[in-house]
Structure 1
């Protein structure tokens, strides 16, 4: 369980042993954990780096475990800060990529083509899935149509059977769409990887890091796509994708609420989006949820802040360090 916080399973056993048997020396810990004394020393170094153990005042030369209520809460807080920084970098990268693709669209004519309509896009996706040999990456924001997922299944199945690595990012909101959840769990059962996040980049498909599809119109991907092969644009798309992947949560895992504020990842992102001036409809579109759901989230946040208006909630959220 603690591996999600960056703690190895072996170090987790040593930490638990220290909590349960604080008077144990290295040899006793090694015996309880089924490790060598060298491995215990390595684990203590790891725990010390994570600030989960400190030198004992009562037993010189020994270590004591920091209370989980303090040590693990501090780890969660550091990871939350880390995540917020990565999400900010992701937002900046998203803007850069959008601008870069728009600026280079005309120049791209010598390196690819515009695919108009979903039939042309599906045809190209089928071609890409047959020729991909190593890796297929995709970001799928918003609601997913069952027919689009069904059209993707044969190509994904063939690629996975050839040993191609498939990584897909959906929005958190799709966890509540049965047809998407079924398809995602099917991908996982076949060896694919699936993660979700409150907000993710525009729709992207990247094959073998040598070609990609991005929407001609980010607000309506069914108008068609731009087939990208230029190395400079591909590099920017890959950077954007990897940042999004690193801030997303594996399907099946749960994102703990912030221990300091009680905010979920979706609520924190909603506050950030509304703070930039977006309307409920626009923020909901970015998060893949309805404006009614946005209203329910904000009502809950206002209640926790004891605020009578959104304006007051914004002020209190800022004062409390929620933004």
Structure 2
């Protein structure tokens, strides 16, 4: 937890133990932490350098913890100042990079692309693109992504509440996977528009209209991806995403709960999620599984929607849903 201010696990454990004890000798602390005494001594000296512990003036060989509110507050302040300087340096470098890219129409081809190999390197680079985007992240996601944005717990934790809005197109089979819709919504956060098509032509991630990331290898081989910078290829990839996005069917992903009291009669959030998934091609049973609802609940709600729309078939319900704006296909320019 204190790694953000420069402490490793051993230093943090030593400091926490010393705070709990108030003061202790290195040997006692080493026994408490189940660490070799030389390693504990080294950690204490490093903590002393950071102002978190001090040698006792009353008893030789004893170490005393500095008050956390004062000592950690000073480190946090220093860390904030260092982050501000790093942000300023990053902004200067980014401006220089954009200027060079704009003037570099004659750059060598190898400067416009980079190859990333290895599962961890691909995942890290993709996460970099997602976290570094300021305006928008666009992505095409297949049922079993190789290099598209990882819809996993680790990526979700790192990007929670951070980064730019998302526009994502997923293959229909993603919606049939266990927790498919919940996984997309949780991994990408609240500011996300999701659409679905029968088949995505290629995996793709584009951050702020560039760079873009596409996979190079198929499943079974070592993961690799191509990162494309400003070029005609990047423009083509952006055009591909926009073409797929225009033809994709919108999905409503959100927290399905009870309708608000006192609101005007009409479909609530759960109704709209059910309707969205049905229009995407899922069966009643699949919708019930995705939304953690009973099959009879889904069927009852669909019947209620048909009565609300004044129709007798599901085909008519789909047409009325578009006509009434229940599943609007709004495009973001």
TM-score by length of 1: 0.45
**Which has more helix, going by share of residues?**
1
Indicate the structure (1 or 2) with the bigger Cα radius of gyration.
2
